[in-house]
Amino acid sequence: MISNKSRLDRFISRQTHIKRSDVRALLAQGRVTVDGEVATDVALVINQFAVVVVDGRCLPAKKPRYIMLNKPAGVVSATKDGCHTTVIDLLERGDRDQLHIPGRLDFNSTGLILLTNDGHWSRQLSLPDRQIAKVYTVTVAEPLCAVYVDAFAAGMYFEYENITTRPAQLEIVSEHIAEVTLCEGRYHQIKRMFGRFQNEVLSLHRHRIGSLELDAKLAPGEYRDLSTCEVAALTES
C-alpha cells in the first residue's frame, strides 16, 4: 500500500535532488515552510497534500481529488480489469491512475460511486462507527410486503462471514420497488438479503451516500469533482 505520509527531509530531497545532509541545513536555517509554518524538524512527518516551500519556491504538491461518478451497468468498480471497462477507464484525466474507490458497486449495479486519491478521507468514510447511510433504489422480481421491512430492520445472519447485518431500512415504494438504506457494505449485501425471500434483484441503483445525492445532471458514465463543502460534509455527517 502506498503511504499517505513522508518524512520532510526525504520529501524535499526527492523533489529537489538536494542531498539529505544539505536539506538538514536548509531546515536548521529556517528556509522551509510546511503549510505556511516554518519547519525545522527533519523527521517531521507530512501528509501527501502538504504545501512545502523551500527558499520561497513551492515544491510540486499533490492535489487532493474527490469525484462523484454515475456508474453505468456493465462496468467494474475496480481500478484494473482484464476483460471489462472499469470506472477508472471512464475518466478522461491525467491523474486517474492515482485514484481509488471507497465503496464499490456490483458489475450490474448503477449510480453513485466516489473516487479519490485521499486515503485518509476514504478511510473516514468506511469507519464502522460513522455508519454513513447509503441509499439504493431496488427493483425486484416478486411483489414486496411488510415482512421485508421487519426482516431488513432486524438484520440477517450471514453464515459465511459469521455476522448479523446491521439494522437496515426498507421502504416499499411500489409493488416491485423498494428504497433500501444500509449503513454498511457487505459483499452483494442487498442481493443476498432479498435472496432470503427467493426474490431476485432486477436492478439496483445507489443514489445517495450520507449527505451526498447523485447529481441528476450526470448521465450514466459522467462524473464531476465534488465541492469543498460536499467533501467536508461527507465525513462530518
Which residue from 188, 195, 200, 224 is in contact with ligand URA, where contact means CB under 6 A? 188
| First-to-final CA distance of the chain | 28
Which residue from 6, 98, 165, 189 is in contact with ligand URA, where contact means CB under 6 A? 189
**149 CB contacts (<8 Å, ≥6 apart)?**
170, 171, 172
Q: Interface with ligand URA includes 110 (CB under 6 A)? A: no
Q: Interface with ligand URA includes 63 (CB under 6 A)? A: no
Q: Interface with ligand URA includes 135 (CB under 6 A)? A: no
Determine the Cα–Cα distance for residues 83 and 78; give it in Å rounded to an integer.
Answer: 12
Q: Interface with ligand URA includes 191 (CB under 6 A)? A: yes
Q: Pull the grid cell for residue 168.
A: 437496515
Using an 8 Å Cβ cutoff, are 12 and 54 in contact? yes
Q: Interface with ligand URA includes 178 (CB under 6 A)? A: no
> Cβ 105 to ligand URA, closest distance in Å?
4
Which residue from 12, 46, 132, 190 is in contact with ligand URA, where contact means CB under 6 A? 190
The residues in 6-45 that bind ligand URA, with binding defined as CB under 6 A, are none
Q: Pull the grid cell for residue 225.
A: 469533482
The residues in 198-227 that bind ligand URA, with binding defined as CB under 6 A, are 204
Which residue from 7, 33, 54, 106 is in contact with ligand URA, where contact means CB under 6 A? 106
* Environment class of 82 (CB within 10 Å of its CB; exposed 0-12, middle 13-18, buried 19+): exposed
The residue range among 24-32, 36-44, 62-70, 101-109 that interacts with ligand URA, by the rule CB under 6 A, is: 101-109
**171 CB contacts (<8 Å, ≥6 apart)?**
149, 178, 179, 180
> Cβ 227 to ligand URA, closest distance in Å?
25
Contacts with ligand URA by CB under 6 A: the residue count is 8
The beta strands (E) that lie in 141-200 are given as: 157-158, 163-164, 169-174, 177-182
Taken in order 161, 128, 49, 32, the sign of the CA dihedral is: negative
Residues that bind ligand URA (CB under 6 A): 105-106, 109, 188-191, 204
